Structure 1
Amino acid sequence: MLKVNNLEVYYGAIKALKGISFEVKSGTIVTLIGANGAGKTTTLRTISGLVKPKAGTIFFKDIDITKMEPHMIVQLGVVHVPEGRRVFPDLTVKENLELAAWTLKDKNRFKEKLEDVFELFPRLKEREKQLAGTLSGGEQQMLAFGRALMVDADLIMMDEPSMGLAPVLVEEIFDTIVKINKEGKTILLVEQNAEMALEIAHYAYVLEVGNIVFEGPAKEVKEDPKVKAAYLGA
């Protein structure tokens, strides 16, 4: 579904991505793990069109999206749940979801998607008239997921969805990611909680200072001694 080839990204003179290549197959959860500054967020932002690469290509469903503008990439079916949730705090829960549905032309489809989101996140239904800025961190993350689902995209990229959440909410968020995947969405997951990410993912790539240094089925990556020592506290 997604193919990234020899991607290079610079921030001024700093080379943030050093020719990385990877792919995400339809129907899977693929995770990128690595320390802060490894290039994980930059990778997602480049796929979204928010950062322009110096070299390399990005193909989504065999369409070259490397130089496309972000709104066109969303229309093709790629959506980005950013780090820090980034909900619109002065809008209600429902208004946040309505804004996300700008790609939907059919009003009936909009109602269906809204019902799907409220079924997956009953707490959002309870708070649909509440300002998003007054929600708890976990509820804001649910809203960020809900916005992504309103787009009706095929590929959902998630950047640090568990950041800043209590352990009990982290489990809930990862359960939700699995549920979304089982309902047919392909997931590209960036996550500092490497243990949980490797637990739910099908395939994993390890990023270190702009390079992919290791890859494989997530269960095998989780058992690798170097990965254990570097990222799993073993």
Structure 2
Amino acid sequence: MLNLEGVHAYYGYIHALKGVSLKVEEGSIVTLLGANGAGKTTILKVISGVLKASSGSVTFLDHDISKLAPEKVVSEGIVQAPEGRQIFPELTVIENLQVGAYTRRDKKNIKSSYQIVFDYFPILKERQDQLAGTLSGGEQQMLAIGRALMAKPKVLLLDEPSLGLAPLIVKDIFKIIQEINAQGTTVFLVEQNANQALAISDYAYVLETGKITVEGKASEIKEDPKVLQAYLGGH
């Protein structure tokens, strides 16, 4: 469904991605693991069109999207909930959700999308008229995911959704990610919480200094000695 093939990307003279190839199959949850600075967010930027690859290809449903502007990528059905939430604090919850639906052409169906978001996140319905900046960290993360869902993604890109959240909230967020996937949305998950991410994923990649070093079924990656030591607290 979504393929990166031999992708190189730079920030100025810094070679951030060094020939990255990965695949996200339709209907799956795929996780990308890696330490800070490995290039995980850079991969999401390349997929989203925010950063252009210097070489290699990004294809979605068999056509090249590597030259598309970010808003065109969203229109194609690839939508990101970015790291650090990046909601609009001065807007209400409902206004933030409206922003998520901005690129949609099927305006008459937007109302039903609100209901889908509120079914996943009932607290957002209760707080729909509240300023987003006054929400808790967990609620802001729910809003960021809800805003992305308003664009009706075929592939949902999630960048560190558990970052800075209490363990109980993290558990809820991962459960909802599974529910979103079960309803037909493919998920590409960038996450440092390896235990939780691998528990819900079908396939996983490990990125180190801009290169994929390990890949495989999530259940097998959990047993990989290198991954155990680096990300799962094993020996």
User: Do the two structures share a fold, i.e. TM-score over 0.5?
Assistant: yes
The equivalent of 2:108 in structure 1 is: 108
Cα contact 2:17–2:211 (8 A) shared by 1: yes
- How far apart are 1:44 and its partner, in Å? 0.3
1:123-171 Cα shifts (integer Å, max 9, x gaps)? 0000000000000000000001101110001000000000000111110
Residue identity (%): 57
Q: Does 1:206 align with 2:206?
A: yes
CA-CA distance at 1:63 after TM superposition: 1.5
Question: Could you tell me how far apart the structure 1 residues matched to 2:96 and 2:174 are?
Answer: 22
User: What one-letter code is carried by the residue in structure 1 that aligns with 2:197?
Assistant: A
Secondary structure, in 3 states, of the residue corresponding to 1:80? strand
CA RMSD of aligned residues (A): 0.7
Q: Distance in 2 between matches of 1:209 and 1:22?
A: 15
Question: Shift of residue 13 of structure 1?
Answer: 1.4
**What letter is aligned with 1:219?**
S
> How far apart, in 1, do the equivalents of 2:106 and 2:10 lie?
40
Deviation at 1:54, TM superposition (A): 0.9
Q: Distance in 1 between matches of 2:115 and 2:107?
A: 12
Q: Which residue of 2 aligns with 1:66?
A: 66
How many residue pairs get aligned? The number is: 234
Q: After superposition, where does 1:129-208 map in structure 2 within 5 Å? A: 129-208=129-208
Once the 2 structures are TM-superposed, how far is the Cα of residue 106 of structure 1 from its aligned partner?
3.0
Q: Residue 16 of structure 1 aligns with which residue?
A: 16
Aligned residue in 1 for 2:55: 55
- 1:82-110 CA distance string (max 9 Å, x none): 00000000000000001111122333310
- Runs ≥4 in structure 1, deviation > 4 angstroms? none
TM-score (norm 1): 0.99
Match for residue 37 of structure 1? Answer: 37
Amino acid at match of 1:177: I
- The amino acid that maps onto 1:124 is L
- Structure 2 residue runs of 5 or longer lacking an equivalent are none
Call closer, same or farther: CA 1:134–1:5 in 2, change over 3 Å: same
Deviation of 1:230 after TM superposition, in Å, equals 1.0
In structure 1, the partner of 2:123 is 123
SS in 1 for 2:130: coil
1:79 equivalent in alignment to 2:98: no
Q: TM-score w.r.t. structure 2 length?
A: 0.98
Gaps of 5+ in 1: none
Secondary structure of the 1:103 match is coil
1:159-214 deviation digits (Å, cap 9, x = unpaired): 00000001111101111110100010000000011111111100000000000001
Q: Secondary structure at the match of 1:187?
A: strand
Tell me if 1:228 matches 2:212. no
Q: Is the 8 A contact 2:71 2:103 kept in 1?
A: no
Contact kept, 8 Å, 2:41 with 2:159, in 1: the verdict is yes
Q: Which amino acid aligns with 2:185?
A: K
The code of the aligned residue for 2:194 comes to: A
